[in-house]
Structure 1
Amino acid sequence: MLTYVLNSQDLADVRFAVSPVAEMVLSLRALKDPGRFPLQLGWVRAVQPQVAALDWSVLRWLVNDTMGSPDFLTPRPTSPLTQLSDELEVIANVKTDTFERQLAAVNGEVPQDLTIDKVVQTLSQYWDAVMAPYWGRMRTLLSADISYRGHVVTQQGTGAMLNGLGPAITYADGLLEVDRVAEQSRTEHVDGRGLVLQPTLFGPHAVIPFDPGAEPLLGYPPRGQAHLWSVVEPPSRHDLAQLIGTPRAHILALLTHPRTTTDLASELKVTPSAVSQHLQLLRRTGLVEPQRTGKQVLYRPTELAVLLTGETVD
């Protein structure tokens, strides 16, 4: 059991975040022992054709038999909008002594010829093969859970939210207790460092840092996992066009990166006013969101749109 001691300021500073790289690293658990992750069997089955081609000479060192992973692989995320590329850069800059010490702590040894660069390269390949095609769906569920927890905080308070994170997590009188996570119990004071709550599909009960004294972080199981893989493949573009109309489906398909109304109009060979009308409808239905850069307004797809299209967004 891990017990986090939180004072009143710590409670006020609780933050939520989503970590693409943590989901990727923790997903190795499900591939290693699928029986422990019944809610993710849809994903495990879907990626089986790609699994054999992965570099297991590296991946085998990233999660041990008790499902522990070196903390440098799961840097504490800073927001719900954390990008994979930023996290991989953090990993790439890990100091050699930290890299070797944490690998030895998790695996009992430091494998020969394993370098940080090789780990980052293998993780990038792993992401492209088995995570990227499904990340839109995963991220939508994780983000929806954060929205729900935020609503609980505003309606019932932080204590009620913490007590609703999962059966292994309980909070009372400044003590946040996390069960089923460590053989040896330990107590750690947050002491103004900030507690980050991170929904993860690959808990399954809870996830904590491997190293005692690491920055406070708690992974918890999000709501809605039971139906996450009821339909493994995203809808086709034809299906989407039937749902929202061909012009608007075409606009979403073009939004692989933020674009202006004028840019889209030029691409589609229509007037900016016609594109603007479609964008306003897509915005009202929660499928695109604007972001201002200087005098320009750029449009990008929302989490819901990513889920519907199955596209990745820069």
Structure 2
Amino acid sequence: MPRARHALPVPSGSRPGIHPRYLFDVDRNVVEFRLAPDDVSAIRFGLSPGHELAHAVRVLQRPAEHPMQWGWLRAVRGRVPQGAFDTLAVLIGPSGYFPDFLTAEPEWDLDAAGELERLRAASIDGMRVDLGKMLVRTTGARHDAVRGMLADPVVWRARIADAWEAVWAALLTPVWTQLERILRADVAVRSRRIALGGIAAMAAELHPRVSWSADAVRVELAAHREIVDCRGSGLRLVPSVFSGGCSVLTEAPVQPTLFYPAEGVTESWARRTASAAAALAALLGPARAGILLASGEPRTTSRVAADAGLAASTASHHLSVLRDAGLIASRRDGPRVLHLRTPLGEAVIGARL
């Protein structure tokens, strides 16, 4: 059974361990993810390029509602591939449900190429189910367009994937470096909060509509309520730059998932990497800023020196300063010492880029 993305009313399917109606808060719509007490391993993080693309399409449909994206909007308005965008807009719409086949299950190492590959191989039966849901949620020309897709899903799967690829290339490829750094920095900060204060401390700062109560993460939504037993499956948390609110996935076979707004998103998040790097250089100095920016993967001192065009002794000095500031961590791997950004370093990078 395809999963269901709940932000507005979507009928629940059956799933072992889920009790869809309605055991608490009769005056509020709440999804409650039940977790084992103090089970830090129950929380996992993931990324979803497809979720970002879908909400970017929504931003373009209602720009006035998304002031944090106005910098990005100014940069991309002139290069929207209109035909491809119109195809996705039929499916995604400005709010509410959009088909689950458009996005892969969030994973930590999922990238746009992986999303696109899975979309091109999406289950035709799953597409029919999702398009059927769209059919009862649309009217007018959009309804007719969905009906046409449902009549020939094999052809439309390829057309939709082509549109996805074109819109991604035009609107998100130019800013994906900045966007991904914000997402990964957010995860680093949340993980540190779990380590220091537990799940409750982290969950309390996800969003005003998210709270921790009685060994559960609770999410207020517009018009959906459900109790999801995550003991055994865990809960996946997925930050988002383009979505300003929360949404959930609760149907098998997908792991229960909560999407939430990433920290550090300002109106200028999509500025060019060069200008953001210049701002970071003013804070740390050009050499240290360059080393920190390039430390997303473990590197030896000699590799750091070579990448930065510095003498090994100079690179070692800069690494020492960054390590003392808590931005770089160094560990021994046999005869080598490897250097990598810390969660604090990720947060600094995410805030600037």
TM-score normalised by L of structure 2: 0.65
Distance apart, 1:63 and its partner CA: 0.7
User: Which residue does 1:255 correspond to in 2?
Assistant: none
Residue by residue over 1:122-147, the C-alpha shift from the partner in whole angstroms, topping out at 9 and shown as x without a partner, is 11111110101011111111111111
User: CA 1:172–1:134 in 2, change beyond 3 Å: closer, same or farther?
Assistant: same
In the aligned structure 2, how far is the partner of 1:205 from the partner of 1:85?
A: 26
Alignment check: 8 A CA contact 1:142 1:222 kept: yes
Residue by residue over 1:83-106, the C-alpha shift from the partner in whole angstroms, topping out at 9 and shown as x without a partner, is 221222222222101012112213
User: CA 1:54–1:244 in 2, change beyond 3 Å: closer, same or farther?
Assistant: farther
- Indicate whether 1:123 and 2:151 are aligned: no
Residue by residue over 1:220-269, the C-alpha shift from the partner in whole angstroms, topping out at 9 and shown as x without a partner, is 011111x3516723327999999999999999xxxxxx999999xxxxxx
User: Which residue does 2:212 correspond to in 1?
Assistant: 171
User: Which residue does 2:99 correspond to in 1?
Assistant: 70
RMSD: 4.3
Alignment check: 8 A CA contact 1:204 1:221 kept: yes
Identity over the aligned pairs, expressed in percent? 27
- Any idea what SS the aligned residue of 2:258 has? strand
Greater shift after overlay, 276-285 or 8-17?
A: 276-285
User: CA 1:166–1:157 in 2, change beyond 3 Å: closer, same or farther?
Assistant: same
User: CA 1:90–1:300 in 2, change beyond 3 Å: closer, same or farther?
Assistant: farther
* Aligned residue identity for 1:154: A
- Indicate whether 1:187 and 2:227 are aligned: yes
Higher relative contact order (CA 8 A, sep 6+): 2
1:233 to 272, 293, 296: 272
1:219 to 254, 259, 263: 259
User: Which residue does 1:199 correspond to in 2?
Assistant: 239
In the aligned structure 1, how far is the partner of 2:131 from the partner of 2:286?
A: 51
User: CA 1:238–1:155 in 2, change beyond 3 Å: closer, same or farther?
Assistant: closer
User: Which residue does 2:126 correspond to in 1?
Assistant: 98
In the aligned structure 2, how far is the partner of 1:151 from the partner of 1:239?
A: 26
Q: Count how many residue pairs are aligned between Structure 1 and Structure 2.
A: 306
Distance apart, 1:212 and its partner CA: 8.1
Greater shift after overlay, 208-217 or 172-181?
A: 208-217
User: Which residue does 1:47 correspond to in 2?
Assistant: 76
Alignment check: 8 A CA contact 2:183 2:239 kept: yes
* Aligned residue identity for 2:89: R
In the aligned structure 2, how far is the partner of 1:120 from the partner of 1:128?
A: 12
- Any idea what SS the aligned residue of 1:177 has? strand
Alignment check: 8 A CA contact 2:45 2:187 kept: yes
User: CA 1:123–1:243 in 2, change beyond 3 Å: closer, same or farther?
Assistant: same
Alignment check: 8 A CA contact 1:71 1:211 kept: no
User: Which residue does 1:136 correspond to in 2?
Assistant: 177
In the aligned structure 1, how far is the partner of 2:290 from the partner of 2:205?
A: 41
Alignment check: 8 A CA contact 1:72 1:91 kept: yes
Alignment check: 8 A CA contact 1:16 1:198 kept: yes
Residue by residue over 1:142-161, the C-alpha shift from the partner in whole angstroms, topping out at 9 and shown as x without a partner, is 11111111111111001111
Alignment check: 8 A CA contact 2:250 2:256 kept: no
* Aligned residue identity for 2:79: Q
Alignment check: 8 A CA contact 2:248 2:257 kept: yes
User: CA 1:109–1:216 in 2, change beyond 3 Å: closer, same or farther?
Assistant: farther
User: CA 1:250–1:41 in 2, change beyond 3 Å: closer, same or farther?
Assistant: closer
Q: Which runs of 4+ in 1 moved over 6 A?
A: 236-251, 258-263, 275-290, 299-304
Distance apart, 1:186 and its partner CA: 2.5
- Any idea what SS the aligned residue of 1:124 has? helix
User: Which residue does 1:84 correspond to in 2?
Assistant: 112
Alignment check: 8 A CA contact 2:288 2:322 kept: yes
